A and B are shown apart, each in its own frame.
Chain A
Amino acid sequence: MTVETGAERQDIEPQESHARRWRGLGWGFVAKLLMMALVNALGLSLILSALNVEAWGILVASTVLLVIADLVYFMRRTLPLKYILPGLVFLFVFQVFTLGYTGYVAFTNYGTGHAGSMEQAVDAALIQDERRVEDSPSYPLAIVQSDGELGFAVTDSEGFVLVGTEEDALEAVDGASVDESGTPTEVPGWEIVPRSELFADQDLQQQVVDLRVPVSDEAVDGSIRTRDGLSGAIYTSSLEWDEDALTLTDTETGTVYRASDTGNFVADDGSTLPAGWVVTVGFDNFVRAVTDATLAGPLLKVTAWTFVFAILTVLTSFGLGLLFAIIYNDPRIRARRSLRTLFILPYAFPAFMSALLWRGMFNREFGIINDWFFFGADINWLGDPFLAKVVILWVNLWLSYPYWFLVCTGALQALPGETMEAARIDGAGRWRQFRSITLPLLMVSTAPLAIASFAFNFNNFTIIYMLTEGGPPFPGTSGLGSTDILISAIYNISGVAGGAADYGLASALSIVVFVIVGIISAIAFRQTRKLEEIQ
């Protein structure tokens, strides 16, 4: 019965789920209840800790997910969803979110010089601008309070205790007492704030850190600040922040730094303050990758080599693996099983270890490749742009042919014997058999794997980084090299290793790579469907 109408379906009582069944002992339901209790406990603890550290994004996401999970598992109508929900959650958390976030970063200027908010950039500018008055001594200091107003009490070099607040400049007070180190212990009219109170209350601590007590009524004299709550010194600051106009003004030189669209404070003469903030920059990052003269040229070469690398790696390793698979599939060979096991060895080693070993073996002067196989010739394997590419392909071939050997051996053994026999009877030679029967049938099962292998090698960072680090470098300032593939070039450009990171540009390029791999895979998978028609 292949056709099922709706009317018929109604007649059939759907089988009740074990997890819902009340009949009998109801163990299924109990088990579900326990599992869901666990899920809820986990979710609640996540929500509470997110609340605790004020991570609102995580809070909302985990609340929504928890509610959905409870609905799905306790409502009758959502029965089918319960099978796919765990998978969907993982897809959402680990794929969609990562992809979305990378997409978001690609449209910002997030990087070393643009790491936080504008508020934080202003903080940084003010911090970097405030300087201790040269030769200002350190004064023993106590934090004092009166009617909720905070102030500093300091002892000057002659033993006078002076008190001041943010509004009122320092003024001497009578009748104060100090301890041996000179710290005021008693100030008439003021209550000393003990350090314990200070450390226990972060808001108070912040107020003390932010408090500047002017030394005199003249602002140029500077003001007392404390960094540790024990001593104070005189500081001056020349930058002034205007919250409404979004400008920082240097009161000494009169220079006005304005907040620009690019996330920097820029003066009229073009000079900028060091710290910037994150802003969205639209398609700038994508445009830069293709128009920046120092980047565009090398990136084009890198892209071409990435394709060459990925395609040649798949072709060579597939070819070699298939060749060995056919040879070692011949029943006349003894000890096939043990030999096959040995073939897997390169595949079993960690790839980065193998790459490092090969790097040493290809050393021009001390490596055994030159010493043993080229009679001590001085061949610059890793320093020559062409040879370095050959080395990369060779090592990757060594690393990946065992995989194809495995796959092809399995596929060969699954080929229908009668088809081969029919071909033989029809008088097909060995080559004809291979070309017209074996290979097409093999491709049906291996082509999707070849596409996956292409996508993997397209982003095979490990081998490039461990073997050549992308070198030898292109001439010029791009920082890229002859063996860089797109993903290692992105790593270089992002500057994570160098200090001046540009995550925005790196994310934009990652998305381009993602799109390329996606399109190629889609086309290739479409093509493989034609292969299936052979069967």
Chain B
Amino acid sequence: MRKQIGMGAAFVATAALLAACSSDPEPAETPSAEAETSETAEAPSGEGAELVVWTDAEREEALATAAEQFEADTGATVTLVQKNFEDLRNDFIAQVPTGEGPDITVGAHDWLGALIEAGVVNTLDIGEKAADFQEVALDAMTYDGQLYGLPYSTEAIALIQNADLVGDTAPTTWEEMIQMSVDAGFEDRPFILFTNGTSGDGYSAYPLQTSFGAPVFVQDESGSYTTEVGMGGEAGEAFAQFLYDNGADGTGYFTDTIDYDTSNELFSSGESPFILQGPWMPFFDGGDMNLVVSPMVTAGGEPAAPFVGVQGFYLSSQSDNALLANDFLVNYMATEDAQRTLYEADPRVPALTALAEEVSTDPVTAGFVESAALGVPMPSIPEMGNVWEIWNAAEIQLITGSADDPAATWNDMVSELEASIG
């Protein structure tokens, strides 16, 4: 009867179910409309049960709104605990094993590697709803082929230009952009690259790096990053040379003096017409600047792909209310209504495709969506903390000109990375 085993898991699954039906039973009767009472008569079923959800301040209100519906439907209580976003990861790792952790926490996708090593996060199955989400958002929440979190927003940096200074045509190449700036009289600082002061910031320079074809890790066929360092070789050396040529020993466009406040101040006061930054910058709030947002220009000829960051909800592996928590995430938080509430409370690009399109009527948001579409999720392996440190340090040395041989500096950095990832 079941000779089909091994002919593809799906086929097996169906075959097995069919096999179980082979005693030729009657299909179950579907009740007539009058008999159908279960939906309306069903009493709230989660009476007395409590779901604990950790959240940060920005999402608390949106979650409270979404939870109201869930509470009304199930009778369960949803307790929101507010914490600093930066503390969520470590607190989750420390408290879930002790049994004091929450059932669900808000989190960023690049925590995933650490959460999995700590064994504190459960897998999630959103079934057919997966089709409604942007692929990049699901990819980000996927680790080793398994989905671990419900995504709700995506974010990426993009090229922001001050249209009052250089017009509203978005440049597409590095030379074009510099030319536009120089023509407008900004030859001193045609473009602002955020370096987090003297620390360096590989994240912000990353679109420029990928435009040389030097992704941080080699990508597999689905586009996800493996753990094999991919930024060595000629492409990486070319990018290193580019940083050096535009640093203190070259054109001087890149400096190690740009921290968050400085970059915001320089751009909003019109000292420079172009900046590579994210939607979180304060100058978006005022709304009095005439801004154009587009994907980053290419410096090396290939598309400038930024890192995409995804935020979502994680489920604790030690939850005592796993059924309820799953119900809440999959059947309430994954709905368009709930995700819209989240967007309205804290406008980040939604992970739901339909919603993302809906909010893309705003040209600024559309620019960030377009930029994110070029990118792939930021790697979430636990060693990333180490990777950033080594990577940032090498870039800042090139920018300040303290390293005289760009190619050698870059290759040293790559071999250090390989050693530290092991």
Chain A residues proximal to chain B, CB less than 8 Å:
53, 112-113, 115-117, 120-121, 123-125, 127-128, 130-138, 155-156, 158-162, 169-180, 183-185, 194-196, 198-200, 202, 205-206, 208-209, 215-216, 218, 220-222, 226-231, 233-234, 236, 274-276, 359-360, 363-366, 380, 382-383, 468-469, 471-473, 475-477, 479, 495-501
Contacts and interface: CB of A to CB of B under 8 A. Distances in A.
B288 interface: no
Nearest to A364: B257
A155 B28 CA distance: 8
A366 B271 CA distance: 12
Contacts of A112: 93, 114, 117-118, 382
Contacts of A472: 198, 396
A383 to B, nearest CB: 4
Contact of B25 (A116, A155, A172, A477): A172
B27 A158 contact: yes
B119 A275 contact: yes
B352 to A, nearest CB: 19
B97 A174 contact: no
A112 to B, nearest CB: 5
Contacts of B361: none
A479 to B, nearest CB: 5
Contact of A172 (B23, B128, B198, B199): B23
Given A176-B28, A380-B400, A364 B256 contact: yes
Contacts of A276: 117
B87 to A, nearest CB: 10
B386 interface: yes
B25 A228 contact: no
Given A113-B117, A120-B119, A382-B197, A196 B257 contact: no
Contacts of B128: 138
A275 B118 contact: yes
A500 B119 contact: no
A170 B20 contact: yes
A216 B19 contact: yes
Contacts of B261: 360
Contact of A115 (B16, B44, B97): B97
A134 B9 CA distance: 6
B257 A363 contact: yes
A240 to B, nearest CB: 18
Given A179-B38, A221-B2, A501-B114, 8 more contacts: A137-B13, A158-B27, A184-B28, A195-B42, A221-B13, A228-B330, A359-B197, A475-B393
A221 B2 CA distance: 10
Nearest to B9: A133
Interface stretch (B46-54, B218-226, B339-347): B46-54
A209 B262 CA distance: 52
A233 B127 contact: yes
B134 interface: no
Contacts of A469: 199
B13 A499 contact: no
B28 A477 contact: no
A170 B13 CA distance: 12
Q: Choose among A135, A184, A468 the residue with the greatest number of B CB atoms under 10 Å from its CB.
A: A135
Contacts of B324: 199, 205
Q: Which of A135, A236, A473, A479 has the most CB of B within 10 A?
A: A473
Interface string B312-329: 000001101111101100
Contact of A499 (B48, B322, B382): B382
Of A135, A175, A178, A499, the most chain B CB neighbours within 10 A belong to A499
A215 B90 contact: no
21 contacts: A113-B118, A135-B13, A158-B21, A170-B20, A172-B21, A172-B23, A177-B29, A180-B36, A199-B48, A215-B17, A227-B330, A366-B257, A383-B402, A475-B393, A477-B389, A479-B386, A479-B390, A498-B385, A498-B388, A499-B382, A501-B114
A202 B46 CA distance: 11
B382 A160 contact: no
A274 B116 contact: yes
B256 A206 contact: no
Given A159-B27, A162-B21, A175-B26, A116 B119 contact: yes
B118 A177 contact: no
In the A-B complex, the 5 residue pairs with the closest CB atoms: A498-B385, A124-B119, A116-B97, A275-B119, A135-B10
B91 to A, nearest CB: 11
Interface in B329-351: 330-331
Contact of A275 (B117, B322, B400): B117
B113 A216 contact: no
Given A112-B114, A112-B382, A128-B116, A196 B198 contact: no
A174 B21 CA distance: 10
- Interface size class on chain B is 35 or more
A26 B125 CA distance: 70
B76 interface: yes
Nearest to A220: B5
Nearest to A203: B320
Given A117-B97, A177-B29, A469-B199, A477 B420 contact: yes
Contacts of A215: 13, 16-17, 20
Nearest to A176: B28
A50 to B, nearest CB: 13
Nearest to B385: A498
A131 B145 CA distance: 9
A177 B30 CA distance: 6
Contact of A161 (B28, B396, B400): B28
B256 A383 contact: yes
A157 to B, nearest CB: 8
Interface string B370-405: 000000000000111110111001001000101000
B79 interface: no
Contact of B118 (A115, A125, A169, A380): A115
A178 B30 contact: yes
B383 A199 contact: no
B264 interface: no
A125 B122 CA distance: 10
A180 B34 CA distance: 11
B9 A128 contact: no
A162 B20 contact: yes
Contact of B17 (A116, A156, A498): A156
Contact of A202 (B9, B97, B320): B320
A228 B331 contact: yes
A202 B400 contact: no
A221 B27 contact: no
A519 B297 CA distance: 59
A171 B20 contact: yes
B59 interface: no
A413 B402 CA distance: 53
B43 A196 contact: yes
B45 interface: yes
Contacts of B326: 227-228
Given A202-B321, A500-B385, A477 B119 contact: no
Interface centre among B47, B118, B255 (most CB of A within 10 A): B118
A80 B120 CA distance: 50
Contacts of B262: 363, 366
A383 B2 contact: no
A124 B122 CA distance: 8
B20 A216 contact: yes
Contacts of B382: 112-113, 499-500
A406 B201 CA distance: 43
A233 to B, nearest CB: 6
Contacts of A228: 323, 326-327, 330-331
Nearest to B318: A120
A74 to B, nearest CB: 35
A418 B97 CA distance: 69
B251 to A, nearest CB: 15
A202 B324 CA distance: 10
Contacts of A499: 89, 110-111, 113-114, 382, 384-385
A394 to B, nearest CB: 17
B31 interface: yes
